[in-house]
Structure 1
Amino acid sequence: MYILIDNYDSFTHIIKHYLNSNKVDVEVYRNDELKAIDVINKKPTGIVISPGPKTPDDAGISIELIKRASKKIPILGICLGHQSIAQAYGGKIIRAKNIMHGKISNIFHNKKSLFKNMPQNFKATRYHSLIVEKESLPKNIVISSESSEGYIMSIEISKAKAYGLQFHPESYDTELGQRIVSNFIKICER
């Protein structure tokens, strides 16, 4: 069973559909519906933290859940979830120079984890005005992909099971978004 934390995003149902299409059961909870310990006690195989409005500080239990669970339970954070992972592990979230709402970027990645067996330079859709500041990253945060402009598009936490995507794999215009979600499930089921 997987748990999807909904940060009041209008497309959480698409993420749930992507997970369900991999033949896994998913329980969805709003970010203020449970405590972090309640999620952990459910013993999920994996946790997904959805996109949503505002900042990681406004994402309910997201940061606490990441801090408490990511060494034991794999976590995938998408957009706000990605920013929450970065902040939970010491990164700084800043305003982007350009607002990216519905913009498509080419993604260049490290061919590992979420990007295993994926081609370089695939297109992904971005919906954000905040980014993870590259200069603020501690050594435990590994950049696993960037946009062609050099913005961080995904991270992994070394010595934890946390993976963040700034772009939206669930967006219609993101190439191979379903494969990224499938790769996360493979990580969870090892």
Structure 2
Amino acid sequence: MRVLILDFEDSFTYNIFSTLKSMNIEVEILHYRGFQIDMGEYFSHIILGPGPGHIEDYVDFSFVVSKLILDSLSEKIKLIGICLGHQLIQHELGRSISRLGTPIHGQSQSIFFPDSNALVKELRSRELEVQLYNSWAVRPRDIDYNFDLEILGSEGEILASISKNIVTYQFHCESIGTSCQQELFSQILV
């Protein structure tokens, strides 16, 4: 397994790196602007990490996100999105992004992971504390891609989307305020 984290100029990128290293996973970090479309073939997993701003700030990167989604659908890679990465992937899949009624920055929230075969056994039927740092939310709407499981927040926003080859989290699974960090990464790092 070889993982690439695309850095969107966010210090939490290095928390992701440290978490994966503690799991004995070979991992590299690359600034998102340095990513070339053919680089995907050298990695089994690509993480679109957290970052500042709105998805419109990254419009020049949307082609790359679309290509990574296609590569994950054809099982060439597994794709993970965290916070901004979650929003970028969901937007390319056709979902809308809107401002949260109440922005959440540096706060923990409890969310329940149901007893679902879509989850690794360590996450099933568990309530977890997750750390959020966001002003934006992905809104549910019908898309061509069917996730096996989606978990919604208190305002109806998507907090997690899980399938075999694409996993996205609105929350920071690498944050000290999130319980079960390794289990959340294990959801796709298998």
Q: TM-score range by the shorter chain?
A: 0.7 to 0.9
Equivalent runs, 1:11-160 vs 2, <5 Å: 11-37=12-38, 39-42=39-42, 44-59=43-58, 61=61, 63-71=65-73, 72-110=76-114, 111-113=116-118, 116-118=121-123, 119-134=125-140, 136-142=141-147, 143-156=149-162
SS at match of 2:99: strand
RMSD: 2.1
The TM-score with structure 2 as length reference comes to 0.85
**Change over 3 Å in CA distance of 1:27–1:163 after alignment to 2:** same
Alpha-carbon distance in 2 for matches of 1:162, 1:12 = 19
Q: What amino acid is aligned across from residue 182 of structure 1 in structure 2? A: S
Alpha-carbon distance in 1 for matches of 2:118, 2:46 = 16
Task: State how many pairs are aligned.
Answer: 181
SS at match of 2:136: strand
**Does structure 1 conserve the Cα–Cα contact (< 8 Å) formed by 2:122 and 2:183?**
no
Cα shift readout 1:70-107 (whole Å, capped 9, x = no counterpart): 22211110001111111111111111111010121111
**Does structure 2 conserve the Cα–Cα contact (< 8 Å) formed by 1:107 and 1:148?**
no
Range that drifts further, 137-146 or 177-186: 137-146
**Change over 3 Å in CA distance of 1:181–1:145 after alignment to 2:** same
Residue ranges of structure 2 left out of the alignment (5+ in a row):
none
Aligned to 1:4: 5
Alpha-carbon distance in 1 for matches of 2:146, 2:168 = 10
**Does structure 2 conserve the Cα–Cα contact (< 8 Å) formed by 1:49 and 1:77?**
yes
Give the percent of matched residue pairs that are identical in Structure 1 and Structure 2: 28
**C-alpha displacement of 1:165:** 0.2
**Does structure 2 conserve the Cα–Cα contact (< 8 Å) formed by 1:63 and 1:85?**
yes
**C-alpha displacement of 1:117:** 2.2
Alpha-carbon distance in 2 for matches of 1:48, 1:114 = 19
Alpha-carbon distance in 2 for matches of 1:114, 1:36 = 30
**Change over 3 Å in CA distance of 1:67–1:58 after alignment to 2:** farther
Alpha-carbon distance in 2 for matches of 1:95, 1:141 = 24
**C-alpha displacement of 1:112:** 4.3
**Does structure 2 conserve the Cα–Cα contact (< 8 Å) formed by 1:45 and 1:73?**
yes
Alpha-carbon distance in 1 for matches of 2:102, 2:33 = 30
**Does structure 1 conserve the Cα–Cα contact (< 8 Å) formed by 2:93 and 2:144?**
no
Q: What amino acid is aligned across from residue 70 of structure 1 in structure 2? A: S
Deviating runs (4+, > 6 A) in structure 1?
Answer: none
